[in-house]
Structure 1
Amino acid sequence: MMRLTGLLAASLLLLACSKNDPPPDPVRPVLSMEVKAEDQETLGRFAGTIQARYESNLGFRVPGRIAHRTVDVGAEVEKGAVLAVLDPTDQQNQLRAVQGDLARVQAQFINAQASARRQQALFNRGVGAQAQLDAAQTDLKTTQASLDQAQASVNQAKDQLNYTRLRTDHGGIVTAWNAEAGQVVSAGQQVVTLARPDIKEAVIDLPAGLAERLPPDVVFLVAGQLDPSVNTTATVREIEPQAQSATRTRRARLTLADTPAAFLLGTAISVTLSSAIPPRIELPLSALQQIDGKTRIWLLDTQSRTVQPREVTVLSRDADSVVLSGGVKPGERIIVAGVNSLQPGQTVKIDEDSPR
């Protein structure tokens, strides 16, 4: 009986002691990240396209009405290919007219030659006058000049007829048409744009302020919008000296370090500008905790899964991130979500989605 009473007293004593002990801190789920030092500053990301460095705006050398086009936009053509044809009626009529003039002058030239030969023969026999011989030779020279002029007119008319067919002087890809079949165009009017696909470049529009203060070591990373894994670097070839009045942007043309096969003319690209900076540490704004006017972060011990606070100094901040001037080193892991519910030495559970 006494033994039973002693066991009961001991049990009651242990129960009383357990009620006085504080409950253990709960294991809280958190998100963490590894601290990394950044040595590149992103200046912006801009959309652009792949274009040909060399483009030709072609037009007819004679006026007329476009009879038909032989190719469409996107067609690849070789040197000498016919792109469009004018109605050749006027040029054909002009050619017939000058050919008639040429035939008339040729007949006159034949008569002048015969006359000059006759007068020369009479003069050689001593029965012809010098004045008649001189007149015949002068007429022959005049007729020869008229013949040359008529022949030149025929050649010119043939050229005018040939100019009714718009041909390429180099191979390329048709990128734009500025006239349609049935439209009357003047000589030299821009009709079609032909791009040479052998040399391509990236074209983007930069804000005027950024274009004026680009650092000399700026790096352009050019990537396809549909497939960012297709990328290359580029350098500035030229920037337009004046900003466009409507958008206040300046067009920049970039020379590609290499040209991936996927970079076809017209491909939509994304160009990221970055510049080298002294190494700095940038963290998400959610990693900071303000306590008694001091700023701190929570360090994670990956072995014990416990956390400890550490004060840091903020160099700058924006809506989503902060840049620290000290207090944490690259390679350390910090808590980036759930910092307001932590206690020093508390055990945490790292979320499966947390970066390792």
Structure 2
Amino acid sequence: MKRLSLLWLGALLVAACSKQEPPPEPVRPVLFIEVKPESVQSLGRFAGSIQARYESTLGFRVSGRIARRHVDVGSEVEQGALLASLDPTDQQNQLRAAQGDLSRIEAQWINAQANARRQQELFDRGVGAQAQLDVAQTDLKTTGASLEQARASVGQARDQLGYTELRSDHAAVVTDWKVEAGQVVSAGQEVVTLARPDVKEAVIDLPATLADQLHEGVEFRVASQLDPSINTTARLREIEPQADSATRTRRARLTLAETPAAFRLGTSISVTLSSAIEPRTQLPLSALWEHQGKTQVWIIDPQSSTVSPREVTVVSREGDSLLLGAGVKAGEKVVSAGVNSLKPGQKVRIDEETPR
């Protein structure tokens, strides 16, 4: 009887041991990355400068030797300001000659008038001949025409003398001199370049391939290279239709939304191009779990500290990273390493976020 009781007790102990629950799975530490979708695509950053929208290159209307340059590059000039002058000797001589011709013809005009009046009086008294009167009147008309011509010549010579002074036709900034004092220039030759400072724009050179892909949704952000905190947005005003044969770039001119005071003419700027896109998320390639023909990632539930797989849409893969188009939401935590050894519902411990 005692032996039977011992056997019964042993059987109970074995049964009790067989019903014990298996030990819980250990909590696995995992690395993660927080989802931060990007809705803007960067198209690149390019260097440029602030330039005036309106520029004009002036030249003398007569030829001659430059006697003096009255302003330097960078000078601000008002409308009518004297920029440069030619040696006026030739034009002064021409004016004096024209004035001398005018004085001579004016004297002839006075004599012709007196002669015409005298012949008219003689003819009225019946002692003058009609032929002499006709000659006097014809001479008067001829001399009058010569007088008008001489006056026009004086006016033209005076204008030519005035053309020896090059003046600004509007308020501007001198940006370039193309000649030096003492140099002989011809009429119409480029002498000085003026820029109107009231309307400024950003100018950059874009690769021809990128310029062909620009559309209305592209945003331009213009910042000073010396102080990036000084910035504004801009829109494309015009782009050259033909690429430069040497650099294969096309010049683009941008209209500024605002013009900070620091954006002076010639200021070096940095222009960033970006375009709105459908939200996309960049993850390390190690976060992707490809199983049974599906592309998935492991999502961490912060409440239960468990993981679950979720199917995602891969837009592209490049190097050690990939772009997801759909499947994850902003703020969610995705396991970034060791995805092949996880199980649905497995307990995890978040150690640290994987740097991007």
TM-score, scaled relative to structure 1: 0.80
CA distance in 2 between counterparts of 1:262 and 1:317 reads 42
Q: Is the 8 A contact 1:46 1:204 kept in 2?
A: yes
Equivalent pair of 1:288/1:295 in contact (CA under 8 Å):
no
The question of whether the paired residues in 2 share the 8 Å contact of 1:296 and 1:309 is answered with no
Return the alpha-carbon distance in structure 2 between the equivalents of residues 316 and 198 of structure 1.
47
**Stretch of structure 1 that moved more, 33-42 or 184-193:** 33-42
Question: Would the aligned equivalents of 1:208 and 1:249 in 2 still touch at CA under 8 Å?
Answer: yes
Q: Is the 8 A contact 1:78 1:168 kept in 2?
A: yes
Q: 2:243 corresponds to which letter in structure 1?
A: A
1:306-321 aligned at under 5 Å gives the runs 314-319=314-319, 321=321
Match of 2:87 in 1: 87
Q: 3-state DSSP class of the match of 1:213?
A: coil
Unaligned runs of 5+ in 2: 1-25
**Helix, strand or coil for the counterpart of 1:193?**
strand
| Correspondence 1:272-283 to 2 at 5 A | 272-283=272-283
Q: Which residue matches 1:54?
A: 54
1:90, 1:33 → 2: CA distance?
Answer: 83
* 1:245 Cα deviation after fit: 0.6
Map of 1:137 onto structure 2: 137
Residues 286 and 315 of structure 1, relative CA distance in 2, 3 Å threshold: closer
Q: Is 2:58–2:193's contact at 8 Å kept on the other side of the alignment?
A: yes
The alignment status of 1:221 with 2:221, answered yes or no, reads: yes
Alpha carbons of structure 1 residues 347 and 37: separation in structure 2 relative to 1, 3 Å = closer
Moved more, 161-170 or 261-270: 261-270
- Supply the AA of the counterpart residue of 2:83: L
Q: Tell me which amino acid in the other structure corresponds to 1:255.
A: T
CA distance in 2, matches of 1:290, 1:68: 78
- Report % sequence identity: 65
Deviation at 1:86, TM superposition (A): 0.6
Letter in 2 for 1:323: L
| 1:93-242 equivalent positions in 2, closer than 5 A | 93-242=93-242
Measured in 2, the distance between the counterparts of 1:228 and 1:38 equals 22
Does residue 45 in structure 1 map to residue 9 in structure 2? no
Corresponding position: 1:244 with 2:247: no
| Alignment check: 8 A CA contact 1:68 1:85 kept | yes
Q: CA deviation at 1:26?
A: 11
Residue among 342, 345, 349 paired with 2:348: 345
Q: Which whole-Å CA distance do the structure 2 matches of 1:113 and 1:185 have between them?
A: 46
Task: Find out whether 1:65 has 2:65 as its counterpart.
Answer: yes
Q: Following the alignment from structure 2 to structure 1, what is the Cα–Cα distance between the partners of residues 73 and 33?
A: 51
Counterpart code for 1:348:
D
In 1: Cα distance, 2:317 partner to 2:331 partner: 22
Q: 1:347 deviation in Å?
A: 5.2
CA contact (8 A) 2:179 2:191 kept: yes
Give, as a single letter, the amino acid of the residue that structure 1 aligns with 2:315: L
Q: Which amino acid aligns with 1:345?
A: V
- Is the alpha carbon distance of 1:155 and 1:241 closer, same or farther for their aligned partners in structure 2, counting shifts above 3 Å? same
Answer whether contact 1:287 1:297 (CA < 8 A) is retained.
no
**Which portions of structure 1, spanning 4 or more consecutive aligned residues, are displaced by more than 6 angstroms?**
24-28, 289-304, 340-344
Size of the aligned set, in residue pairs, is: 325
Cα deviation digits, residues 223-268 of structure 1 (max 9, x gap): 2222222222222211111111111111111112222222111111
> Once superposed, what is the RMSD of the aligned Cα atoms?
3.1
Q: C-alpha deviations, 1:42-61, integer Å up to 9, x for none? A: 12221111111111110000
